[in-house]
Structure 1
Amino acid sequence: MKTQKLLFLLLILLQLSCNSQSKKINGVSFVASRDSISSEHINPVLKAQSNYVALMPFGFIKELSSPKITHNTDRQWFGETKNGLLQYAEKFKKEGVKIMVKPHIWVWKGEFTGNIKMDSEENWKILEDSYTEFILTYAKAAEDLNAEILCIGTELEQFVINRPDYWRKLIEKIEKPTKEI
C-alpha cells in the first residue's frame, strides 16, 4: 500500500511538473543588416510565428591563431554592434518577441571558429582578455535590455577544451551583476 501511495504521489508530481513547463521556443536567427531595422524586417519573423529571436553581434579575428578580437566598431554593419543589438531588441520586444543575445566570432576567410587555438601562453592570455571584453560588452547589453537568454562561447570548441579554467571564471564573472564587473 505504501508503494502504491508513493507511486501515485510521484505521478502527481510528474504531472504538475510537466504542466508547469514554459511555452515552446519557436526561434529564428536574425541576420544583422547594415542599418537599423523597421517593421519591414520584423514582419517575416512574426509571420513565421517566432516567439524568440537570436540577435548576433559580431567580433572579428584575422585568423585562427590571432588573439585580438575586433568588435563594436564603426567599420561593422550596424546590426553587428551594441547599438544595433539594442535597437533590434527594442523593436522585437515591442512585438512581443523574446530575445536571445548570441555574440559570435567571425574568422576572416570564413574559417570555423571551433578551431581557434593559440600557439603560446602569451597569445592565450591576450585572447582571454579580448574575449572577456567582447562578451562582457554584450552581457551588460543583454542585462540592460532584459534579454531572456545570453549565449556565451558560440562554436569555440578548441578555446573551451584548452582553457576550461578561464571559462569557469568567465561564467562566474558574467553571473555577477554588471555593476560589479
Structure 2
Amino acid sequence: MKTFHRTVVFSTLLLCSCGANSSDSDLKYVFSHNSTSDIKSKINGASIVAPSHPVDDAAFRQLASHHVNFICLLPFAYVREGNPEVFYNKFFQWWGEKPEGIAECIRMAKLHNMSVMVKPQLWISDGLYTGDLKFANDEEWQVFEQTYYTYLLTMLTVADSMDADWFCVGTELGQFVKNRSSFWSSFIDSARKHFSGRLTYAENWDNYESFPHWNKLDAIGINAYFPLSDSLTPS
C-alpha cells in the first residue's frame, strides 16, 4: 500500500468543454457551455502515476472512501535525447505503464463507478522538458511520429477495450505541436475511429492558447499550475 500511496497525486488537469463549431478566437477566451459534451458533474479526481507493481482492489476502495469519482491513469513512454524513437512496454517498465496494468486499473476503477481518463506521457532523458522536444530534420521527426503514434494507438486500444471515458492524446508538447501540426490533426481523426469515449489534449498553463486543434476535441485540457503571485515573498 505504501507504494500505491506514492503514486497517487491530486489531478491538476482542468477540463473545459468546447463546442465543435467554436471559432479559434472564441476558444481562446470563451468556453462554451452549450455543447453536448459538457462536463456537468463535479469531478473529485486523482491521478495514478504508473504503480511499480500490481495493486489490488483495496487501493481503489480507499480512493472511493475519499469520494474520488474520476481517476487519471498516467503511463509513461521514454525518449532518449538524440534518439527519436519512442520506447514503451519494455521489460524494465513498471506494471502500471504496461497495457495489462492499465487495463486492470481501469477494470477496478469501473467497479467503484469511477470515470477514467488514460493520459499517456513522455519521459525524456536528462530531464529535458517535453514542451521543448524537437528534432533536427524531417527524417528524425518521421521516426518520432511513427513510434509515438504506435504508442498512442496501443494505449488507445486498451482504453477503448476497457470502456475508459476519456483519452488524452498528448501532454505539454508545445514544440511538437508547433512544428508538426498536421500530425495532430491526423491523429485526432484516427483516434475518433478507434475510441468511443471523449478526447482531449493537455497543454501547459502558459501555452494552451497556441494549440490549434481544440475545435476537434471534446474539451480543452489545461495543466493549471497558474502562478498565484509574481512576488518572491507573497503574503
1:54 counterpart residue number: 72
Structure 1 residue 100 corresponds to structure 2 residue 117: yes
- CA drift at 1:76: 0.3
Q: Gaps (5+ residues) in structure 2?
A: 1-33, 196-235
Q: Deviations over 1:60-83 (max 9, x none)?
A: 0112x4311100122100011111
Question: Quick check: 1:25 aligned with 2:43?
Answer: yes
Task: Kindly state the Cα deviation for residue 21 of structure 1 after the two structures are TM-superposed.
Answer: 6.0
Give CA deviations for 1:31-82 in whole Å, capped at 9, x if unaligned: 221211113322342233111100111110112x431110012210001111
Rg: which structure is higher? 1
Partner AA of 1:30 in structure 2: I
After TM superposition, list the pairs within 5 Å mapping 1:1-181 onto structure 2: 22-63=40-81, 65-177=82-194
RMSD: 1.9
- Residue deviations 1:6-27, cap 9 Å, x none? xxxxxxxxxx99xx96211111
Q: Deviations over 1:77-120 (max 9, x none)?
A: 00111111001111111111111000111112332111110111
Aligned residues: 160
Q: SS of 2:72's equivalent?
A: strand
* Secondary structure at 1:71 match in 2: coil
Under a length normalisation based on structure 1, what TM-score does the superposition of the two structures give? 0.82
Q: Post-superposition, which runs of at least 4 consecutive aligned residues in structure 1 deviate over 3 A?
A: none
After TM superposition, the score normalised by the length of structure 2 is: 0.64
Q: Distance in 2 between matches of 1:35 and 1:21?
A: 33
Q: Quick one: percent identity of the two aligned structures?
A: 32
Contact 1:61 1:107 in 2 (8 A): yes
How far, CA to CA, are the matches of 1:139 and 1:48 in structure 2? 28
> What one-letter code is carried by the residue in structure 2 that aligns with 1:141?
V
Distance 1:75 1:173, change over 3 A: same
Deviation at residue 166 of structure 1 after TM alignment: 1.0
Instruction: Classify the secondary structure of the residue corresponding to 2:123.
Output: strand
Mean Cα displacement is larger for which, 46-55 or 156-165?
A: 46-55
